[in-house]
Structures are given as structure tokens and as C-alpha cells.
Amino acid sequence: MFDPSTVDLNILRRRAYNLRWANVPADVIPLTAADPDFPCAPEIADSICRFAKERYFCYCSPDGLPEFKESMARYYQAKRQIPASPDWIFPVDSAAFGIYLTCKAFLSPGDEAIIFDPVDFLFRYAVEAADADAVTFPIPPGSAGIDEERLEGLITRKTRMICLCNPLNPTGKVFNKEELLFIGRLACKYKLIVLSDEIWSDIVYSPNIYTSIASLSREIRDRTVTITGFSKSYGFGRSAHRFGHGFQ
């Protein structure tokens, strides 16, 4: 599936009209929008075909299909060691929209949210769309650890959220368990929300080991909103999850 020979550049140029293949010269490889160039798994295409052949395309419940939420709960229990419940899962139409909704839900005008530097532009956009202020926290290159003292020093009485992107887009840094524990404990200490974007979490290479911050403890989980999906892993699907029993 991930053999370069499976990439059909002609189809990509016809269909990926989103500032990528269709908008660049033939000898240019675009590194912009994060769409996979590999085709999706045959099982996904077969499932879509079976659905389409039934010829009913109805509105879905705004809460999402129960079977989807149940499947996602099983996924998080098995793959991320999070005791997720279907009731805590809220399907959305993109990870970007999940980030936006989370910022709109938990930030008010004049609040502050800590975002990483560098990080995808969507974080600043979502924070500022809520009329809040984005405060940047520099992330060192490579696998160097974060400056814990500096991160805590950015927290003020206006701080309401820490925006975690793990693995980090664009550097690829995978935060280790100790770093995540520190971030989670800060959130508990100062009663902050952790917005954890985990859209890239299936694409992690050795020797890195991926840990979801919501798996570390119930106290951290209760303050975490996880944004994830399968558009990077399989070219299909996104959703947002709140793991916990309610924010304090």
C-alpha cells in the first residue's frame, strides 16, 4: 500500500485541487496541505462503494452514529489505553473544525491559550477566532526536551488552555511521557484545558513511543479534549473526543 509505485500522479493532479498537485508545474512536488498521496486501503473504498450502492444519503444525527461512537471507544481503549465511553465522543467533519470548536467552547474574549512554536497555523487561527490571545511557547528542534520552567512562566491569570500538538506538526517531535506528565500536571495545578491534537499519532517511528496525554491519569483526562482522526493514517475520517468525567 505504501510502495511509491502505487501513487498515481495523474489522478492526484486531477482531484487534489487544493493548492497541491493541480496547482503546481509537473516537475514540482508540493509540500503544503497534509493529504496522503498514497491511495486509501481497499477495505475503505469497498465500504464506501457498498454504502453508495444502497442509494440512501440521509442526514445523520448531530451526535453521530452510535456504532461509530462505540467503535471509537473500543479503538481508544485498545490503542491508547484510555477508558473511553461512547458518550464522550463527538464526531466532527474535520480535525481543524474540532480545534476551532474546542477553542470557541472554552475560550472567552481576553483569555490566553499557549500554543507551540512552530505549529500548524490552525491553532492561532482557532484561538484568535474566539477573541483570545495566542501565547507562543518555543519547541526546540529534534528530540531535545521542552523548557519546563519557561512553559510554566507563560501561565498568567488569563491563561485558560494549553494547545498540545503531538506528534508536532511541522517538526515531527513526539513528546515523551515525562513531558506529557509535566504538561498535564500544569493543567491540573492551574485548572487549564489541554487541547490535544493527535491527528498524526499513528505515524510514529522507532525509537519513539507514542503516549496519549489522556491516558496518563484520570485527573489529566478530566481536563483534556483530544482531537484525532484517520485522514493521515488511512486517508479517511476525523472526530473529536473528550475523555473524562467533567471539567472542574
pLDDT at 16: 66
Average pLDDT over residues 14-38: 75
Q: What is the pLDDT of residues 93-144, one digit of tens each?
A: 889 999 999 999 999 999 999 999 999 999 999 999 999 999 999 999 888 9
Alpha carbons within 13 A on the beta-carbon side of 18: 10
pLDDT at 24: 78
Integer angstrom CA distances of residue 103 from 113, 127, 199: 9, 6, 17
What's the CA dihedral at 61, 232, 35, 168 to 10 degrees?
Answer: 110
Average pLDDT over residues 151-177: 97
Better-predicted residue by pLDDT, 233 or 169: 169
**pLDDT tops 60 at residue 149:** yes
**pLDDT tops 60 at residue 245:** no
pLDDT at 6: 83
Q: What is the mean pLDDT of the chain?
A: 89
Pick among 3.90.950.20, 3.20.20.140, 3.40.30.10, 3.40.640.10: CATH of 66-243: 3.40.640.10
Q: What is the pLDDT of residues 53-74, one digit of tens each?
A: 999 998 888 888 999 999 999 9
User: Any idea which residue has 496525554 for its cell?
Assistant: 213
Provide DSSP, 11-48: HHHHH-TTTSGGGS-TT----SS---SSPPPHHHHHHH
Least reliable range by pLDDT among 89-93, 148-152, 233-237: 233-237
**pLDDT tops 70 at residue 18:** no
pTM of the model: 0.87
Q: Is the dihedral of CA 164, 229, 188, 144 positive or negative?
A: negative
Count Cβ atoms within 10 A of the Cβ of residue 165 and give its class: 0-12 exposed, 13-18 middle, 19 or more buried.
Answer: buried
Average pLDDT over residues 12-27: 74
Q: How confident is the model at residue 236 (pLDDT cuts 50, 70, 90)?
A: low
Which residue ranges make up each domain of the chain? Answer: 4-53, 66-243
Helix (H) or strand (E) holding 230: none
In three-state secondary structure terms, 61 is coil
Residues 6+ apart with CB under 8 A from 87: 69
